[in-house]
Every structure is written in structure tokens, then in C-alpha cells.
């Protein structure tokens, strides 16, 4: 589904990501773990084109981003990429001036030009799937944190992305809500979604991710099957991090 | 003992000083006139800007000498000159003031010192106008000074006219074809129009009237002294000398001065001057019409400001480098210079490069351009108040920058910008009053003219304030309702769903 090769990202003179390589198979779940400042959120922002890469390449479902592209070609490909990638931000960024339904149909109606009736019907299905059908006509402000997050997820799903990116999805949830979210996520894979989840919470990823990637200082330290990374990591730094997190 | 003596010396010295002060204060003759565009009555000497010159200046010097007083000139504003005399800023008005019946209700007048006539001036190539009556039949617009014999005559005759604060502006608008003729007292016409090759006289001078010196009611001793002094400078020929020097001597003056020179007293000349009677019903009607102009100006200018302010804000805060500079320049220019100066420039400066707009259009565009600079800053603040994540969320859903701006950013920014926008609109409502300088008949102009003509400053002031409030209060109310609707929509939704649950 997505291949990243030698990805380099700089901020001014500082190199933030030093040649990242990773590959995510279709309909699999990749968890990215690491301490704050390890570069995992930056990596995620590169994957949906919010950050322009300075070296290497990203290839996602036939769309290829390279560092050497001209500005206009890069932007064109980023727009193509975004049709395939859905993002749920840590701070969600729901549109406060629109109802829940409005948040969901905004992009399908204005970007994909889906007829409003059809977009609304789909939106109701998605809301039913995340258990928020009754909230369709409400405004995001009036919802709880967990409900808002499910709206954000439904909003991303409304564009039918193959790849879903999540940045710290459990940061604002209590353990019970986290467990519910994991159940919800498990349902996405059989429906054809591929997921990349950045999270602090190893326990959240443990029963969900097929593979884990441990980042430190802008580099991939460890990358492998979830079981292997958690129980018999090769690198002592991974071992330390996992031990502390548990 | 010593201290007692020195104290009494001090006391008597102070008393003496006080005496001299009062004595010299009695010697001063404070006279008021409007020196702006005041030639040839009184105006700033072009060769020496610290000095005033003019035939009335020389006449007052002669009068004061006859009265054994020290003249002291108090510059004032023509249209409110009667009210300024009444509140005591000076003791006499010497400013080509006509003793009309309505003014005589407010102040008293000396005997006349000059007989004037009205002269109609038109453009050189004008073929339609031969006398003032042609302006009536052809429905042409005649310019004049506000609150003068000419303006009263035009009003009485039903001729459409526009009042100007000074003669320069009136004759310039005539040249620029904004009006079709100018009717003014001969002294002004001689000084400002006679030498202008683009203009010509239409018909002979007509409608005689006199200039008299205005005094506060009850200042009878001063009035007597002034009357005697006028007789004296007529008898000794000094007034004639002054008028001849200024090219103002003519047959009418001879007729007026003859009985005085012959020593006949009590035979003062006077002419039937048009006086306007103040009529409340008519005044309210004129105010209402002016209020309509104010409303149209304010709304029109606000529309321009909103439409232009948004691209300015976007250009300044998000545009490419080459666009940011000119946007910032525009904003700094229009915010940093007075709107009054901008209007004068647009009205009198632009015709030099061939752009000629009517006063109302100039005010509309000038205020619009000015307020666009302010609105742009309101929008910029609103745009920058939104979290960057709103843009990123929109981009992540595949929106283009333009779509994201239109559908996601703009509606949110509008909510933030609404209260300061309302504030600016109310302020714009009041700023329309500067359109007075380019002779737009809006509410503040109407107030000035009506109040000066009638002396009803208090009552008219209250009425005009009521007009402004009648316009701005519903506006503020409307904006608050809109804000509340935008804000409470969510709250409403919550309570509804709770009731449903």
C-alpha cells in the first residue's frame, strides 16, 4: 500500500528525519511508537503531504512523491495522494461552524462532487457505524471528546481513503474509551482499510497493530512484527522504551 | 513696619497694573471674520503668510483708529460667524455680512459700509445661460457660499443650488463642470473669477444689498461708536481710498455715501434682502433627505470596504512576497492619512488627471477606500486567530486552498470579525460627516447649515443626533442578533437534543 524510501525531512538546517524506510502492506496496521520529539508526527505529516520531503520518496497506491519534483508537480501529486489518504489529527480540527453531518459531507460534496442526498445517506451510515447517528444535526462543540473523535474518524472515512493515518488517537481517552476505539479500529481492516497509527500507548497497539516501528532521534530503530518488537527486540533502546512504557 | 510699607507699595502697584490692563482692554476692538478663501475681504497675504490683508482689514484699521481703539483680529468660520459672535469670541463681525431679517433677530447691525451686487459666472463656452432665470428654466445647478444673500435668493427662487464652504471650491467645481454656474457677491467674483480665462460673466450684476457690521444685541454704546466711526471714515474719504485701491469703488458706493458726505444724518440706505424664515416642517424634511444620503453613503462605502478589505487582508497575510508589499503600503497609506485630506485629494486632485467624479460618488469611493484599510486589519486578525489545523484538516480532505478558504476559513473568520465590523460600520456612519468638505448634502452638512441659518443649535442638534441614533441603533441591534444567532446555534441544538432525549 505504501512504500517509504530514504525519506529525509529538514527544518531549516536541522535534519529531523534521517532516511526513513518502511513499507505497509495493504489491509495491515502499522503502529509507530517513540518518545516525544522522535519524529513520528513529522513522519505522519510527510505521509499526507502536509510537510514537503527533502530527500527520498513516498509511494502510495501509484502516487509517487519525490524530493526533486518541481513545486507545481509536487502539489499536484500531493492532491492526488490526499485522495487516497485520510487523516485524523490529534486535535481533530473538526469544523466548528458546521454540524456533524456538515463536517462529514463537506469534502464529498465539494471535492468529489457527490450529490448532497447521496453524501448525506452515506454520512448517516458512517455515523451509525461509529455509533453517533443521533448526533448528525448537532454541532461538534456540544459533543464529548470521545464523540468528537468518532466524528473526525467518520469525516476521514467519508472520502473513502485506502490508507488511514491516526495521530495519538488515545491521548484524550480513558481506558474504557480506548478499548472501544480499538474494537472500532479492528473493524476497519476487513473493510479494506490500511492504517498507520502513531501512539504513545503500547497497550493500545499491542492487540491491534500487525507491525510496530520504534523511532528515536529521527531514525527507525526497530521495525518488525508487533510480537517480536514488544517481546524480543533486537535493539537495547527498544527494550528500554518498551520496558518503561509497560 | 517695613514689611507693611512694602506690602502697601506692592498692593498699589498691583492696583495700577490692573488699571492699565483694564484700560488697554477697553482699547481693543476684537473683530471676527473668516480669512479662508476670504479675498478680497480678509485673507492671508500670499507674499507673507503671517499677515492678513484685505479691504475690510484696512477698513477696520481705519475704523479702529477713528474709535481710538486697538484692532484685534479673531479668525473664525463664516457659516457659524453669527453664533460665534453671540457666544462672545469677538465683539463685532466685519465680514461682508448682510443684515437679513433672520439675522436681525439674533444680532444687531451697524449702518452699512458697502453696497454689493450679485454676479452670475459661467464657463467660457456656456451658451445656454444668459441670466439667472435660465438656470431655473433649464434646471441647472448653481453654486454659492452657504448662508449668504446669494444662497437665500437661490433658495427663494427655487433654483437648485449647492453650498460651498469657500469661493475657491465653488469656482473650481464650475470649471470641472460639476455645476453650471456660480452666483456670488461682486467683490468675491472680481477676485476669484474675473481673471480666470475659463470663466465669464453671465449678465449684469443684480440684486443690491449692503454689508453692515454685526454686533451683539444690547451693545448699544459700541454700536453708536461704530456708526460714528463709519460716518467719519466716509466723510474723511479714507473708505473711498481703500475701496478704490481694491477696485471696489463704483456708482452704488457714491449713492450710498452721498447723504453722509453731505452731512445728512439718519438717512441710512437699506435694501430688501431675502431672508429665510425657519420652518420646522421644512427643516425636518431637509434633514430626512440628508439622512437618506448619509445612509446611502455609509452602506455604499461599507460594501466597498468589505469587498476590498478581504483581498487586502489575504494579500497582506498570505499572499506571495510581491503582493504583500503593495497591500501593506495601501493599508498604511489610507490608515495613516486623514480621510478629510483623502477626500479633498480625490475631489480636487484627480480631475487634474482626467478623473472627474461627483461629490457623492467621491465621498462613497473615498470612504470606501479608507475603510477598506481598516476592514482588512479586522479580517487579518480574524484569519490569524484561526488555528493552522483548520487549514490542514481541509487540505487533508483533498480541498484546494481556495475551497478551504471559502468553505472552512471564511465562515469562521466572519464570526470573529463581526463585532469589530459592526463597530467600524457605526463609526463609518459618523465619518460620512466629513463629506461636508466636498459639499455633499449629508446629515452633518444639513445640521450646520440649518443651525447657522436659524440659530437653533440645541434643538436641531438633538434632532440630528436622534437621526443618527435612529440609523445606527437598529444596525447595532441587527449585528448583535446575527452574532447571537451564529453563537447560539450550537447551544440551541444542545437544548433541543436534550429535550428530545
Q: Do B407 and A50 touch (CB under 8 A)?
A: no
Whether B354 contacts B293, CB under 8 Å = no
Q: Do A138 and B493 touch (CB under 8 A)?
A: yes
Q: How confident is the model at residue B500 (pLDDT cuts 50, 70, 90)?
A: very low
Is residue B453's pLDDT more than 50? yes
Q: Which range, A78-87, B79-88, B449-458, is most confident?
A: A78-87
* CA–CA dist A144, B419 (Å, integer): 29
Distance of residue B374 Cα from the nearest chain A Cα, in angstroms: 25
Is residue B10's pLDDT more than 60? no
Nearest by CB to B411, which of A50, A97, A142? A97
3-state secondary structure A158-218: CCCCCEEEEECCCCCCCHHHHHHHHHHHHHHHHHCCEEEEECCCHHHHHCCCCEEEEEECC
* CA–CA dist B168, B186 (Å, integer): 14
Question: Per-residue pLDDT averaged across B104-126, rounded?
Answer: 91
Distance of residue B385 Cα from the nearest chain A Cα, in angstroms: 14
pLDDT < 50 positions in chain A:
none
Percent of chain B with pLDDT over 70: 88
Q: Which CATH number does B280-500 carry?
A: 1.10.3720.10
Q: Three cell numbers at B29?
A: 476692538
Domain B115-209: CATH architecture, name and number where available:
3-Layer(aba) Sandwich (3.40)
Q: Is B399 on the interface with A (CB under 8 A)?
A: yes
Nearest 5°: phi and psi at B162? -120, 135
Q: How confident is the model at residue B265 (pLDDT cuts 50, 70, 90)?
A: low
Strands (E), chain A: 2-11, 14-24, 29-34, 55-60, 63-66, 85-88, 163-167, 194-198, 211-216, 219-225
Question: Per-residue pLDDT averaged across B87-103, rounded?
Answer: 88
Whether B154 contacts B183, CB under 8 Å = yes
Q: Is A173 on the interface with B (CB under 8 A)?
A: no
Q: Do B395 and A159 touch (CB under 8 A)?
A: no
Please determine whether the domains at B24-109+212-261 and B280-500 fall in the same fold group of CATH.
no
Considering only alpha carbons, which residue of chain A is nearest residue B393? A93
Q: Is B402 on the interface with A (CB under 8 A)?
A: no
Q: What is the DSSP letter of A139?
A: -
Q: Which CATH number does A2-245 carry?
A: 3.40.50.300
Delimit the domains of chain A by residue range. 2-245
pLDDT of residue B491: 54
* Cβ-Cβ contacts under 8 Å, A60 against chain B: none
Q: Which residue has the higher pLDDT, B449 or A174?
A: A174
Q: Is A5 on the interface with B (CB under 8 A)?
A: no
Is residue B493's pLDDT more than 80? no
Half-sphere exposure at residue B308, Cβ-oriented, CA atoms within 13 angstroms = 20
Whether B40 contacts B59, CB under 8 Å = no
Q: Do B396 and A50 touch (CB under 8 A)?
A: yes
B54: left (phi over 0), alpha (psi -120 to 50) or beta: left
Delimit the domains of chain B by residue range. 24-109+212-261, 115-209, 280-500
Q: How confident is the model at residue B5 (pLDDT cuts 50, 70, 90)?
A: low
pLDDT of residue A150: 93
Q: Over chain B, what is the mean pLDDT?
A: 85
* CA–CA dist B129, A69 (Å, integer): 74
Half-sphere exposure at residue B280, Cβ-oriented, CA atoms within 13 angstroms = 4
Question: Per-residue pLDDT averaged across B148-152, rounded?
Answer: 84
B24-109+212-261 under CATH 1.10.760.10, yes or no: no
Q: Is A95 on the interface with B (CB under 8 A)?
A: yes
Q: Do B400 and A134 touch (CB under 8 A)?
A: no
Residues 6+ away with beta carbon under 8 Å from A140: A94, A95, A96, A98, A100, A103, A148, A151
Q: What is the DSSP letter of B232?
A: H
Distances in Å between the alpha carbon of B33 and those of A181, B57, B101, B248, B384? 85, 10, 20, 19, 53
Of B34-38, B103-107, B138-142, B270-274, where does mean pLDDT reach its minimum? B270-274
Q: Is B393 on the interface with A (CB under 8 A)?
A: yes
Question: Per-residue pLDDT averaged across B278-282, rounded?
Answer: 75
Work out how many CB contacts closer than 8 A connect A with B: 75
Q: Is A52 on the interface with B (CB under 8 A)?
A: no
Closest residue by Cα to residue A27 from A61, A63, A67, A78: A61
Q: How confident is the model at residue B36 (pLDDT cuts 50, 70, 90)?
A: confident
Distance of residue A83 Cα from the nearest chain B Cα, in angstroms: 6
* Cβ-Cβ contacts under 8 Å, B396 against chain A: 48, 50, 82, 85-87, 89, 156
Q: Three cell numbers at A190?
A: 476487513
Amino acid at each position: 500500500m505504501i512504500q517509504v524510501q530514504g525519506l529525509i525531512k529538514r527544518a531549516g538546517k536541522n535534519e529531523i528525519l534521517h532516511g526513513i524506510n518502511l513499507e505497509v502492506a495493504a489491509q495491515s496496521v502499522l503502529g509507530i511508537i517513540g518518545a516525544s520529539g522522535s519524529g513520528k508526527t513529522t513522519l505522519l505529516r510527510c505521509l499526507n503531504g502536509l510537510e514537503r520531503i527533502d530527500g527520498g520518496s513516498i509511494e502510495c497506491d501509484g502516487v509517487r512523491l519525490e524530493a526533486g519534483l518541481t513545486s507545481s508537480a509536487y502539489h499536484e501529486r500531493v492532491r492526488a495522494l490526499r485522495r487516497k489518504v485520510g487523516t485524523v489529527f490529534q486535535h481533530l480540527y473538526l469544523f466548528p461552524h458546521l454540524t456533524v453531518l456538515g463536517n462529514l459531507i463537506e469534502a464529498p460534496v465539494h471535492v468529489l462532487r457527490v450529490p448532497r442526498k447521496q453524501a448525506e445517506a452515506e454520512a448517516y451510515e458512517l455515523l451509525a457505524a461509529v455509533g453517533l447517528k443521533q448526533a448528525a444535526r448537532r454541532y461538534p462543540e456540544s459533543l464529548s471528546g470521545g464523540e468528537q473523535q468518532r466524528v473526525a474518524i467518520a469525516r476521514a472515512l467519508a472520502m473513502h481513503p485506502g490508507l488511514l493515518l491516526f495521530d495519538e488517537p488515545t491521548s484524550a481517552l480513558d481506558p474504557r474509551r480506548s478499548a472501544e476505539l480499538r474494537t472500532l479500529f479492528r473493524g476497519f481492516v476487513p473493510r479494506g482499510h490500511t492504517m498507520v497509527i502513531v501512539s504513545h500507548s503500547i497497550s493500545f497497539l499491542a492487540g491491534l497493530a500487525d507491525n510496530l516501528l520504534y523511532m528515536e532521534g529521527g531514525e527507525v530503530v526497530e521495525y518488525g512484527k508487533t510480537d517480536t518488537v514488544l517481546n524480543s527486540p533486537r535493539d537495547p533502546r527498544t527494550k528500554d522504551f518498551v520496558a518503561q512504557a509497560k | 513696619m517695613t514689611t507693611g510699607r512694602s506690602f502697601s507699595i506692592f498692593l498699589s502697584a498691583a492696583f495700577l497694573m490692573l488699571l492699565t490692563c483694564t484700560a488697554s482692554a477697553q482699547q481693543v476692538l476684537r473683530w471676527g471674520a473668516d480669512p479662508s478663501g476670504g479675498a478680497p475681504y480678509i485673507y492671508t497675504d500670499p507674499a507673507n503668510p503671517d499677515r492678513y490683508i484685505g479691504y475690510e482689514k484696512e477698513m477696520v484699521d481705519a475704523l479702529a483708529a477713528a474709535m481710538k481703539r486697538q484692532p484685534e483680529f479673531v479668525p473664525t468660520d463664516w457659516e457659524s460667524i453669527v453664533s460665534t459672535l453671540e457666544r462672545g469670541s469677538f465683539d463685532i463681525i466685519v465680514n461682508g455680512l448682510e443684515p437679513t431679517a433672520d439675522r436681525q433677530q439674533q444680532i444687531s447691525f451697524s449702518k452699512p459700509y458697502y453696497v454689493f451686487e450679485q454676479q452670475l459666472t459661467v464657463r467660457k463656452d456656456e451658451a445656454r445661460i444668459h441670466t439667472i432665470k435660465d438656470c431655473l428654466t433649464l434646471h441647472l445647478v448653481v453654486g454659492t457660499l452657504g448662508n449668504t444673500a446669494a444662497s437665500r435668493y437661490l433658495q427663494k427662487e427655487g433654483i437648485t443650488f449647492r453650498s460651498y464652504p469657500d469661493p475657491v471650491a465653488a469656482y473650481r467645481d464650475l470649471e470641472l463642470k460639476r455645476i453650471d454656474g456660480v452666483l456670488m457677491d461682486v467683490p468675491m467674483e472680481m477676485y476669484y473669477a474675473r481673471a480666470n480665462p475659463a470663466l465669464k460673466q453671465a449678465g449684469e450684476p443684480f440684486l443690491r444689498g449692503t454689508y453692515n457690521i454685526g454686533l451683539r444685541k444690547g451693545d448699544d454704546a459700541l454700536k453708536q461708536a461704530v456708526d460714528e466711526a463709519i460716518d467719519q471714515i466716509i466723510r474723511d474719504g479714507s473708505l473711498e481710498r481703500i475701496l478704490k485701491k481694491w477696485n471696489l469703488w463704483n456708482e452704488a458706493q457714491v449713492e450710498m455715501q452721498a447723504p453722509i458726505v453731505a452731512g445728512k444724518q439718519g438717512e441710512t440706505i437699506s435694501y430688501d434682502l431675502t431672508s429665510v424664515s425657519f420652518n420646522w416642517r421644512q427643516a425636518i424634511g431637509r434633514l430626512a433627505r440628508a439622512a437618506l444620503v448619509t445612509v446611502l453613503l455609509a452602506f455604499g462605502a461599507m460594501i466597498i470596504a468589505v469587498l476590498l478589505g478581504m483581498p487586502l487582508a489575504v494579500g497582506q497575510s498570505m499572499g506571495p512576497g510581491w503582493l504583500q508589499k503593495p497591500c501593506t503600503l495601501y493599508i498604511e497609506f489610507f490608515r495613516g492619512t486623514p480621510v478629510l485630506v483623502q477626500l479633498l485629494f480625490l475631489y480636487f486632485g484627480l480631475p487634474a488627471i482626467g478623473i472627474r467624479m461627483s461629490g457623492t460618488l467621491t465621498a462613497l469611493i473615498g470612504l470606501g477606500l479608507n475603510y477598506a484599510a481598516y476592514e482588512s486589519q479586522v479580517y487579518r486578525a480574524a484569519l490569524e486567530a484561526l488555528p493552522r489545523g483548520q487549514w490542514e484538516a481541509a487540505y487533508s480532505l483533498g480541498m484546494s486552498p481556495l475551497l478551504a478558504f471559502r468553505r472552512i476559513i471564511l465562515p469562521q473568520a466572519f464570526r470573529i470579525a463581526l463585532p469589530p465590523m459592526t463597530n467600524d460600520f457605526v463609526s463609518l456612519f459618523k465619518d460620512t460627516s466629513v463629506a461636508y468638505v466636498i459639499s455633499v448634502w449629508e446629515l452633518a452638512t444639513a445640521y450646520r447649515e440649518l443651525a447657522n441659518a436659524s440659530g437653533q443649535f440645541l434643538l436641531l442638534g438633538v434632532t440630528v443626533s436622534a437621526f443618527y441614533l435612529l440609523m445606527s441603533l437598529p444596525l447595532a441591534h441587527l449585528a448583535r442578533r446575527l452574532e447571537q444567532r451564529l453563537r447560539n446555534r450550537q447551544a440551541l441544538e444542545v437544548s433541543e437534543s436534550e429535550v428530545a432525549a
